């Protein structure tokens, strides 16, 4: 009998599953578990569901994948009934959606909120996982699913005097739940990644003065966001299954609605290319990066695309010096391209200044603000938009011990090693969702989440049918998977800059390209083959 909403568990009465995280991955894993009569408890450190969308409440937070694609496909009635209001959904609406899913599928009673998973230990004598929470609760389970998210541990650089600031201070990835009032305030913001680029136009419109501290300029493409086109919605809803299937054939699991173009930049002359870039610019969003087939792999092609964006910046920002400072020079796309509404235009406002900290790093945070290049800047409110310890940060914060007491931190001391981004050798019955080695952040996260969870649940069914106690990735399969992933990444332009994909934004983090960059369709094919061929690369035990 399933132990639905079982408050505790024991070695003799274990849960089937402990799921860590109640974001989109955890919610779907729980829904699938309950649907197949498996007992499961979700541990969630936040006060409610939503994961990324629970924590990232900064002004302007919005998804860069379009609403009709950034949603679950597993339930036809859900996708027919839910209505998005904008082309790109804003954080409050996405959070409403997560809450709707939790209620619709009666998931909440199985989720422990405000509960941090502190340690997880594999007990070899009984093949169970023992999970202890920071509150002191203990759970025993046969399996663990780590639905901990890729961008769920904030990166707060160790600036000298970081905690000395006496005004209001916030990190975009851990934004307060109460409204923040910028009226009449002098605001400083450190960082110019997606979070900053989304929030700057909104903050600038309501504060007295905004100073942006930029170390590396980013490429940002206009979203051209607006109310969702109801005819488009109805057309998709009439054949939502086909639309989802088409998207699954796309490299990143989304974008099937966009015009297809498989040609090289060099197939067109300058005016033809510019027209093509312009068309994609007008469509808006992440699709700009794939205006041509070779902008991600050929440096010269990439530079042509990059120069197009730089010319857009120069054509938008009226002060030439500020415009040049905003022009990125790294490979376009090697840091994740941003999607904005009026970002570059905001630098034309009289109350916004840009300060480069590239050559003159922030010297220290002071009680009144910060010092860079010998100048003290005073603020009422300081925002750290300094990103995340991505993909591994949250997993490594938990004391996870596998076979022989080896910790995940030891196992991954030279960088994360997984098989298929789903399993870790030495850690039986322990699955990661959209972790390192998965297409994860290079794909539509919800599409990848559904695929991972479906694969895991099929695996559990197989184990039940075979009456096997454990499944574990082999060391060889894992190291081969990492080598294959690295080889694909080496053939791209991704490793050419210091991105969070490489862990390069966190001092001391091993420099490894973490996501699988072979594309969602080929990843799915590999996973399906592994399943069909009886799970090569895994060992089962009784
Ligand atoms: O973080 P980031 P983010 N001194 O790491 C700067 C997703 N997301 O939160 O580039 C000075 O991109 C750092 O500078 P540099 C999306 O996948 C999605 O903005 O390291 N500056 C950089 O400018 C995104 O990629 C959406 O030189 C310092 C900034 O801080 C990911 O989350 C919206 C510094 C950090 O940028 C992360 O985005 C928002 C220092 N010591 C986020 N340390 C969607 O649209 C760091 N910086 C769905």
CB count in 10 Å sphere of residue 160: 12
* Angle, in degrees to the nearest 10, between helices 24-35 and 91-104: 10
Nearest CA to ligand 1 atom 34: 386
Spatial neighbors of 265 by CB under 8 A, at least 6 apart, are: 273, 292, 294, 295, 298, 300, 301, 304, 305
Q: How much of the chain, in percent, has pLDDT values that exceed 90? A: 95
Nearest CA to ligand 1 atom 46: 386
3-state secondary structure of 35: helix
CB count in 10 Å sphere of residue 80: 11
Nearest CA to ligand 1 atom 15: 216
Going from the Cα of 333 to the center of ligand 1, the distance in angstroms, rounded, reads 13
Whether 530 and 419 have beta carbons less than 8 Å apart is answered as no
The number of CA neighbours under 13 Å toward the Cβ of 412 is 31
CB count in 10 Å sphere of residue 81: 11
Identify any residues that bridge with 338 across adjacent strands, giving them in sequence order.
Answer: 220
Ligand 1 pocket, mutate which of 505, 506, 508, 511 (most atoms under 8 A from CB): 505
pLDDT at residue 261, rounded to an integer: 73
Going from the Cα of 502 to the center of ligand 1, the distance in angstroms, rounded, reads 13
pLDDT at residue 7, rounded to an integer: 53
Nearest CA to ligand 1 atom 20: 505
Spatial distance between the Cα atoms of 143 and 387, rounded to a whole number of angstroms = 31
Measured from CB, residues less than 6 Å from any atom of ligand 1 are 62-64, 151, 157, 172-173, 190-196, 198, 215-216, 336, 339, 357, 362, 385-388, 441, 500, 505
Ligand 1 pocket, mutate which of 194, 494, 507 (most atoms under 8 A from CB): 194
Going from the Cα of 430 to the center of ligand 1, the distance in angstroms, rounded, reads 30
Spatial distance between the Cα atoms of 470 and 423, rounded to a whole number of angstroms = 12
For 219-261, write each residue's pLDDT tens digit. 999 999 999 999 999 999 999 999 999 999 999 999 988 776 7
Can you read off the two tokens belonging to residue 177? 């739940």
- Choose the CATH number for 15-153+390-541 among 3.20.20.70, 3.50.50.60, 3.30.70.270, 3.40.449.10: 3.50.50.60
3-state secondary structure of 198: helix
pLDDT at residue 256, rounded to an integer: 87
Residue 198's nearest CA partner among 91, 316, 352, 75 is 91
Task: Kindly give the number of the ligand 1 atom that is closest to the alpha carbon of 357.
Answer: 11
Going from the Cα of 195 to the center of ligand 1, the distance in angstroms, rounded, reads 6
Residue 285 gets the label, from left (phi > 0), alpha (psi -120 to 50) or beta, of: left
CA distances from 83 to 71, 96, 108, 292 (A): 11, 11, 22, 33
Q: What is the pTM of this model?
A: 0.96
pLDDT at residue 277, rounded to an integer: 96
pLDDT at residue 5, rounded to an integer: 45
Regions in the chain scoring below 70 on pLDDT: 1-8, 260
Residue 275 C-alpha from the chain's centroid: 32
Task: Kindly give the number of the ligand 1 atom that is closest to the alpha carbon of 362.
Answer: 4
Going from the Cα of 193 to the center of ligand 1, the distance in angstroms, rounded, reads 4
Residue 121's nearest CA partner among 436, 408, 419 is 408
What DSSP string describes 95-159? Answer: HHHHHHHHHHTT-GGGEETT--EEEEEEETTTTEEEEEETTS-EEEEEEEEE---SS-SB-----
Whether 369 and 379 have beta carbons less than 8 Å apart is answered as yes
Task: Give the domain ranges of the chain.
Answer: 15-153+390-541, 168-229+258-384
Ligand 1 pocket, mutate which of 172, 215, 509 (most atoms under 8 A from CB): 215
First to last CA, the chain: 21
Going from the Cα of 338 to the center of ligand 1, the distance in angstroms, rounded, reads 10
For 331-375, write each residue's pLDDT tens digit. 999 999 999 999 999 999 999 999 999 999 999 999 999 999 999
Going from the Cα of 191 to the center of ligand 1, the distance in angstroms, rounded, reads 6
Going from the Cα of 386 to the center of ligand 1, the distance in angstroms, rounded, reads 5
Nearest CA to ligand 1 atom 24: 194
Residue 175 C-alpha from the chain's centroid: 17
Residue 394's nearest CA partner among 17, 45, 15, 40 is 45
CB count in 10 Å sphere of residue 20: 29
Is residue 48 packed enough to be buried (19+ CB in 10 Å), middle (13-18) or exposed (0-12)? Answer: middle
Q: Which helix (H) or strand (E) holds 232?
A: helix 230-238
Nearest CA to ligand 1 atom 25: 336
């Amino acid at each position: 009998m399933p132990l639905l909403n079982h408050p505790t568990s024991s070695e003799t009465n274990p849960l089937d599953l402990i799921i860590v995280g109640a974001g989109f991955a955890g919610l779907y894993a729980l829904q699938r578990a309950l649907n197949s009569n498996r007992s499961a408890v979700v541990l969630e450190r936040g006060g409610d569901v939503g994961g990324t969308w629970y924590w990232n409440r900064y002004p302007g937070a919005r998804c860069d994948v379009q609403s009709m694609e950034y949603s679950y496909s597993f339930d036809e009635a859900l996708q027919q009934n839910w209505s998005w209001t904008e082309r790109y959904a804003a954080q409050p609406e996405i959070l409403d959606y997560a809450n709707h899913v939790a209620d619709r599928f009666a998931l909440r009673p199985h989720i422990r909120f405000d509960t941090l998973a502190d340690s997880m230990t594999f007990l070899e004598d009984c093949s169970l996982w023992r999970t202890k929470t920071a509150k002191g609760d203990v759970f025993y389970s046969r399996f663990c699913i780590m639905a901990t998210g890729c961008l769920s541990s904030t990166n707060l650089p160790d600036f000298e005097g970081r905690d000395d600031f006496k005004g209001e201070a916030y990190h975009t990835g851990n934004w307060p739940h109460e409204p923040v009032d910028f009226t009449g305030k002098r605001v400083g913001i450190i960082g110019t990644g997606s979070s900053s680029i989304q929030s700057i136009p909104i903050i600038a419109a309501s504060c007295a003065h905004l100073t942006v501290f930029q170390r590396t300029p980013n490429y940002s493409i206009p979203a051209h966001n607006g109310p969702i086109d109801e005819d488009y919605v109805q057309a998709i809803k009439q054949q939502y299954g086909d639309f989802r299937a088409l998207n699954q054939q796309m490299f990143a699991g989304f974008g099937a609605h966009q015009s297809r173009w498989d040609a090289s930049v060099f197939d067109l002359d300058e005016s033809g290319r510019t027209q093509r870039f312009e068309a994609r610019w007008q469509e808006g969003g992440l699709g700009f990066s794939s205006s041509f087939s070779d902008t991600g792999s050929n440096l010269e092609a990439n530079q042509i695309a990059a120069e197009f964006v730089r010319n857009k910046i120069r054509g938008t920002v009226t002060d030439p010096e500020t415009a040049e400072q905003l022009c990125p020079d790294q490979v376009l796309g090697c840091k994740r391209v941003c999607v904005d509404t009026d970002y570059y235009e905001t630098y034309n406002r009289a109350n916004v200044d840009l300060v480069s900290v590239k050559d003159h790093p922030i010297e220290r945070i002071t009680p009144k603000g910060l010092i860079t290049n010998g100048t003290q800047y005073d603020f009422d409110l300081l925002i750290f938009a300094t990103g995340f310890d991505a993909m591994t940060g949250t997993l490594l914060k938990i004391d996870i011990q596998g076979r022989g007491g080896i910790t995940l931190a030891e196992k991954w001391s030279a960088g994360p090693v997984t098989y298929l981004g789903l399993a870790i050798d030495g850690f039986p019955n322990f699955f990661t969702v959209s972790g390192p080695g998965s297409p994860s952040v290079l794909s539509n996260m919800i599409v990848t989440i559904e695929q991972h969870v479906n694969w895991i649940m099929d695996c559990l069914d197989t184990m039940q049918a075979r009456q096997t106690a454990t499944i574990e990735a082999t060391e060889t399969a894992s190291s081969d998977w990492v080598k294959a992933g690295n080889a694909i990444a080496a053939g791209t332009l991704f490793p050419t800059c210091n991105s969070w994909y490489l862990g390069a934004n966190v001092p001391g983090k091993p420099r490894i390209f973490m996501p699988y960059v072979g594309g969602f369709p080929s990843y799915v094919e590999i996973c399906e083959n592994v399943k069909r061929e009886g799970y090569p690369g895994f060992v089962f035990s009784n």
